[in-house]
Amino acid sequence: MNPSITLLTLLEQASGDFVSGEEISRKLNVSRTAVWKQIRKLEAEGYVIEAVPRLGYRLTGRPSRLSLRELLPKLTTRSFGRHVKLYEEVGSTQDVLRELAEEGAPEGTLVIAECQTQGRGRMGRSWLSPPGKGVWMSLLLRPQVPLPLTPQLTLLAAVALCRAIGRLVPLRIGIKWPNDLLVNSRKISGILLESAAEDERLRYVAVGIGVSANLDEEDYPEELRDKAVSLKMASGRPVDRTGLIAAAMEEFERLYDLYREEGFAPIRALWEAHSVTLGRPAVLRTPQGPVEGVPESLDDSGGLRVRLHDGSVRTVYSAELPAT
Of 208, 293, 295, 302, the one binding ligand BTN (CB under 6 A) is 208
User: Could you give the CA distance from residue 162 to residue 248 in angstroms, rounded to a whole number?
Assistant: 9
Query: What string of DSSP letters covers 254-299?
Result: HHHHHHHHH-SHHHHHHHHHHBSSTTS-EEEEETTEEEEEEEEEE-
Of 192, 229, 284, 319, the one binding ligand BTN (CB under 6 A) is 192
Of 75 and 191, the one with the shorter C-beta distance to ligand BTN is: 191
Of 180, 240, 250, 253, the one binding ligand BTN (CB under 6 A) is 180
> Binding of ligand BTN at residue 240 (CB under 6 A)?
no
Q: How far is the CB of 209 from ligand BTN (least distance, A)?
A: 6
User: Could you give the CA distance from residue 73 to residue 41 in angstroms, rounded to a whole number?
Assistant: 19
Collapsed DSSP state (helix, strand, coil) of residue 27: helix
User: Could you give the CA distance from residue 100 to residue 109 in angstroms, rounded to a whole number?
Assistant: 8
Q: CA 315 → CA 153, 179, 288, 319, 321, distances in Å?
A: 18, 17, 12, 11, 14
> Binding of ligand BTN at residue 255 (CB under 6 A)?
no
> Binding of ligand BTN at residue 127 (CB under 6 A)?
yes
Query: What string of DSSP letters covers 123-155?
Result: GG-B----TTTSEEEEEEE---S-GGGHHHHHH
> Binding of ligand BTN at residue 56 (CB under 6 A)?
no
Q: Which residue is nearest to ligand BTN (CB)?
A: 190
Q: How far is the CB of 187 from ligand BTN (least distance, A)?
A: 7
Binding track over 97-116 against ligand BTN, x by CB under 6 A: -------------------x
Query: Looking at residue 46, what DSSP letter applies?
Result: T
Of 248 and 255, the one with the shorter C-beta distance to ligand BTN is: 248
Of 121, 148, 243, 263, the one binding ligand BTN (CB under 6 A) is 121
Kindly identify the residues of this chain, within the stretch 74-93, that bind ligand BTN according to CB under 6 A: 92-93
Which residues partner with 275 through β-bridges? 175
Of 122, 142, 203, 305, the one binding ligand BTN (CB under 6 A) is 122
User: Could you give the CA distance from residue 121 to residue 192 in angstroms, rounded to a whole number?
Assistant: 6
> Binding of ligand BTN at residue 174 (CB under 6 A)?
no
Of 21, 56, 81, 119, the one binding ligand BTN (CB under 6 A) is 119
Helix axes 150-168, 265-274, angle to 10 degrees: 50
- Name the H helices within 21-149: 21-28, 32-44, 68-71, 93-102
> Binding of ligand BTN at residue 190 (CB under 6 A)?
yes
Contact residues: ligand BTN, CB under 6 A = 92-94, 116, 119-122, 125, 127, 129, 136-138, 180, 190-192, 208-210
